[in-house]
Structure 1
Amino acid sequence: MPSSLNKRVLSVVFVSDRIIELTLQLRGCRTLRLIQIHAPHAGNPDATYDDFLNELADLLCARRSTTTILLGDFNAVISSRQPGERFVGPHSAGAMYNSLPV
């Protein structure tokens, strides 16, 4: 992060070994919350992934009035676009995991 943003940092919270939250003061009274995640890969037990999703959901619901940007790799393999999908580009490769919500 550029040193010029240091004065705008309101908080840094290490939620878990997979989630970190940074809150920045914007102009006026507005804040921006950046949440960086590293999701468990498909080789983990379902309970590990479910615990991660529950922890993330709790964090996202905690401060709904703050502008939030969720960042990360999500450890998902993306396949080609399926009919009706809006967020997968036409040039993706790989097999989509059936257990992951899209």
Structure 2
Amino acid sequence: MGSRDIGDISGYYLHALEAKAERTITLSDYIAQANREAVHAGQPFGCAVVKRRMKGVADGYVVRDLRTDVRLLNRLRDMEEALKDAAFDRWYNIDEEHREAA
């Protein structure tokens, strides 16, 4: 989409996603591009999905800069606290579910 690109793949919750599969990996370029595209897409976060050479997509990496990661984790913390305050039993069940999946 040129100068107003909004990312390569939609549906990655709250993110503009930049997909890369290149021989030479340049994370700083990918992240700068993802962050620009997040602004264009009206998404709060940008990230790059980088495919590893000779591996399947599931073995790739999701990469974001530290500033973005801190904002994402702060949002997660705040939303968890809000859910815990509003519906403790629902929060507890979701927390248990995710702990068991790890």
* Structures share fold, TM-score greater than 0.5: no
Instruction: Choose between structure 1 and 2: higher strand proportion.
Output: 1
Instruction: Choose between structure 1 and 2: higher helix proportion.
Output: 2
TM-score normalised by structure 2 residue count: 0.27
